[in-house]
Structure 1
Amino acid sequence: MLLAGAGPFAAKTPLPACPTDRATIKGSFGTAAFNVELAADETSRARGLMHVEHLPLSSGMLFVYQRPQLMSFWMRNTLIELDMLFLDGFGVIRHIHHRAQPLDETPISGGPDMLIGVLEINGGLARRLGIKVGDVLRHPAFISTSEPWNC
């Protein structure tokens, strides 16, 4: 599922008290929380959401990399439609690919930005919730730049 790789991201100011299986997105729409499976090593990133037949509405997979890089994903062996939210080191959403089609092996680029993460959620959910480029994902893998985060 993944065409780019590295190891887990080591934030300079991690938020160790916050759980790693939860991510929150804040934006003009409000707040959305997701239970996430973390894909932070080569094996889990390569597997991704392949062969998954159903993803609960408030769930997703968070891919995290050690270094900022250009990113490209595909939907090989992925059976469900997904939205892909591409993230920089601060958790800012830099690009959203809406409704990636199951089983499509066409590369899906995160754009020209150097990124360290991708959140995959159910296809169509980003638009339904009003999530947009510039919104911020909060998770211990990303550096916090604003007010203290109360997870």
Structure 2
Amino acid sequence: MKRIITILVLISVAFLLIQCNNSKKKPRPNITNNNVNNNYNFDNPPIFRNDTELAFIDSETGDILFTIEAEVASNDTERARGLMYRTDLEENQGMLLLFSREQTQSFYMRNTLISLDIIYVNSDLEIVDIYDHTNPMDETSLPSKDVAQYVVEINAGLCEKYEIEIGDLIAY
């Protein structure tokens, strides 16, 4: 009888440890969009999806400078579309583009009606380059000056307004 009780106690403890461990894991954003529509245009713009929260962090003080709701673009189709065809974007909204590895990234503003700040971020989540106040509809390439694994797009002027600078960090 003691043996059965001991086994049941051990199983219960193991179960509790597994549950506690699972509850501490930070949920990752849902980066699979089963509703990808490749037929977006100016008359049929994509609707913003709030996939995750993203914070900009001052690298010197650790203070949060600004937080946005981010739509995540994790596949080639979503990354290529980016914020094209959008007629507006709330101040607290943006896009997080995920890449599988660090490399020089380059974007342009084709079919993008709103001016953006484009922020290049390395694999350590450190901001390595910023293009602020990009020109809507401009097809000039805007390459990162350093390798980046993430790109964040937000409304133009927000980097200046919230003092987001190269060297600062992001967290999502």
Q: What range describes the TM-score normalised by the shorter chain of this pair?
A: 0.7 to 0.9
Superposed CA deviations along residues 61-114 of structure 1, whole A, max 9, x for unmatched, are 011100111111000000000001100001100011011110000000111x22
Superposed CA deviations along residues 103-133 of structure 1, whole A, max 9, x for unmatched, are 000000111x221011000001100111011
Matches within 5 A, 1:76-115: 76-111=110-145, 113-115=146-148
| Structure 1 residue 18, shift from structure 2 partner | 4.0
Tell me the SS of whatever aligns to 1:100. Answer: coil
For structure 1, the 5+ residue unaligned runs are: 1-14, 140-151
Instruction: Determine which structure has greater relative contact order: mean sequence separation of CA pairs < 8 Å that are 6+ residues apart, divided by chain length.
Output: 1
- Partner residue in 1 for 2:163: 130
Provide the rounded CA distance (Å) in 1 between the counterparts of 2:87 and 2:55.
24
- Partner residue in 2 for 1:26: 57
Tell me the SS of whatever aligns to 1:44. Answer: helix
* 4+ long deviations beyond 3 Å: none
Tell me the SS of whatever aligns to 1:22. Answer: strand
2:99 paired residue among 46, 56, 65: 65
1:40 paired residue among 74, 79, 85: 74
Residue type of the alignment partner of 1:71: Q
Larger Rg: 2
The alignment's C-alpha RMSD in Å is: 1.6
Tell me the SS of whatever aligns to 2:26. Answer: coil
Please give the TM-score of this superposition, normalised by the length of structure 2. 0.69
- Partner residue in 2 for 1:147: none
Provide the rounded CA distance (Å) in 1 between the counterparts of 2:68 and 2:163.
15
Superposed CA deviations along residues 37-64 of structure 1, whole A, max 9, x for unmatched, are 0001011001110000000101100111
Identity among equivalent positions (%) equals: 33
